[in-house]
Amino acid sequence: MEQTSAVPDVVRAATTTTRIWELLQAWLPLVGVVSGFMVLAFAYSVSVPIYEAPDEPAHVEYAHHIASETSLPDMSDSYEAWQPPLYYTIGGVTLKIFGLDSIPQNAINPQLGLQSNAYIHGTHEAFPYSGGYLTVHVLRWISVLFGAGALVFIYMIAITIFPQRKLLALSVTATAGLVPQFAFTSGYATNDIPAVFFATAVVFCGLRLLREPHLKWAGAAAVALALGGLTKSSVVAVAAVPLLACVLAPVTLRAKGKMLAVMIALPAVVAGPFYLRNIIQWGAVYPDDLLPFPTHPRGILDPGYRQIFLPMLRQSYWYYGGWLTVVLSPILYDILNVASVLAVGGAVSAFVSRQFSEFQHRAMLLLALTIVLAFLGTLYISVFMDWQPQGRYLFPAQAAFAMLFTFGIGALFSRDHQRESPAVLAMPVMLVALNVSILLINLPRAY
């Protein structure tokens, strides 16, 4: 009897071991890619002195105010106070838990110029961090975690569209994280990367809704949109994915109505009050008249849009370090531009080849739409708020950019677009070399 009863236990143990091994095989490569990204983002975090990144002092002040005062700041406390509070609340609660109650007050560099540091730094900022410097780095590490989470969603987006192409999905994920500007932005205190996390979650839920039109995916998209709206308004650029997926869904009008109602009502109820607060308290969602520095929006007919906007937007998408002061050699931008053109050509040729399923066609079109909407959002900011042709504002569409670059270049070297091609590794390999060059050459020169 004992031997008989032992047989099922042996079978169960073998089955459990097999399942664990299958899970490891499925997820270990992704863990490796995400871990590599975290190492890279930490490298930028350590290599770039505190506050030498766009608006980082104001982001730190916002989170520190929540930690010390347990209330939302006013514009006099942080000029980022008009931003929705989710990232800062997470940061503030973390600072409170660890008892980090101070922030550095580095003096502004009196010789500030286009190629100089914005603040004065000393050896006391070096590792191991303590006091206010540890405060800043803890907030930076939170950004790193959000960046890693965004890559997980980007992987799931790729695997949702091409379930049999795991190498492509891993390469898309690696490309997204290896864009130097994305890794650099993930390494400092900002709400940009948490916004990307929620934006990629919205896109993933939207594509799942497109494939499986069910209320649960509409609800998941609504939650992601609501939390994204509590993080940064730029997340609205990807709302079109679940909304259009709902419109395209082969379900009854009543079912579509329920899904649309959930996706509109939940974000409005959860995030809407914080934008309404700005209007009531300061008279505008973006109270530019209360900022400590003048803003310079440019009308759409300004010649700067023809001469400066697109080149700067394109270059700063790849990498503009510091307060847009650390730049790459022009030849590197040229190489990246050529790679982008090749990727677009490959993606277009693959798209018209009729090798995709209807779902894949629609999913790729929705991804492309996020790029267009992110660009229009950046244009809107420059026309109505402030002249800001910064590539980081395109990051809500990072999943689409990574898919475009990776899949497009791979498509140039493969006629069968449903099969794996080693060419999809070209972009990640090139970006690895670029990041190594920045970390070993550009940043030591700058700091």
Residue 446 pLDDT exceeds 60:
yes
The number of folded domains in the chain is 1
What average pLDDT score do residues 105-134 get? 86
Has residue 16 been placed in a domain? no
Which token pair is 444?
């030591």
Neighbouring CB atoms inside 10 A of 289's CB total 11
The predicted pLDDT at position 354 comes to 79
What average pLDDT score do residues 206-215 get? 96
Which residues are registered as beta bridge partners of 119?
Answer: 108
Longest dimension (CA), the chain: 88
**Per-residue confidence at 228, pLDDT binned at 50, 70, 90?**
very high
Has residue 28 been placed in a domain? no
pLDDT in tens, 382-431: 999 999 999 999 999 999 999 999 999 999 888 776 788 889 999 999 99
Has residue 275 been placed in a domain? yes
d(C-alpha 179, C-alpha 188), whole Å: 15
The predicted pLDDT at position 4 comes to 52
Q: Quick check: 238 and 396 in contact, CB under 8 A?
A: yes
Has residue 44 been placed in a domain? no
* φ, ψ at 230 (rounded to 5°): -80, -5
The predicted pLDDT at position 192 comes to 98
CB-based contacts of 162, cutoff 8 Å, min separation 6: 168, 169, 360, 418
Encoded amino acid at 417, one letter: H
The predicted pLDDT at position 278 comes to 96
The predicted pLDDT at position 389 comes to 96
Has residue 37 been placed in a domain? no
The predicted pLDDT at position 24 comes to 62
Q: Which one is predicted more confidently, 84 or 108?
A: 84
Calculate helix-pair angle for 310-318, 330-351, nearest 10 degrees: 90
Has residue 36 been placed in a domain? no
The predicted pLDDT at position 17 comes to 67
Has residue 157 been placed in a domain? yes
Radius of gyration of the chain (CA): 23
pLDDT in tens, 323-379: 999 999 999 999 999 999 999 999 998 888 878 899 999 999 999 999 999 999 999
**Per-residue confidence at 3, pLDDT binned at 50, 70, 90?**
low
Average pLDDT of the residues of the chain: 93
Helices within 48-113 (DSSP H only): 56-69, 86-97
Q: Quick check: 254 and 245 in contact, CB under 8 A?
A: no
Is pTM beyond 0.85 here? yes
> String of b and e for 226-262 (b: at least 16 CB within 10 Å)?
bbbbbbbbbbbbbbbbbbbbbebbeeeeebbebbbeb
Encoded amino acid at 152, one letter: V
Which three-class secondary structure state does DSSP give residue 68? helix
CB-based contacts of 168, cutoff 8 Å, min separation 6: 158, 162, 406, 407, 410, 420, 424
The predicted pLDDT at position 1 comes to 46
Structure letter (DSSP) for residue 129: P
Domain membership of residue 418 as a residue range: 50-104+112-118+130-446
d(C-alpha 136, C-alpha 189), whole Å: 7
Residue 265 pLDDT exceeds 80:
yes
Which token pair is 370?
């996020």
d(C-alpha 402, C-alpha 410), whole Å: 12
Has residue 86 been placed in a domain? yes
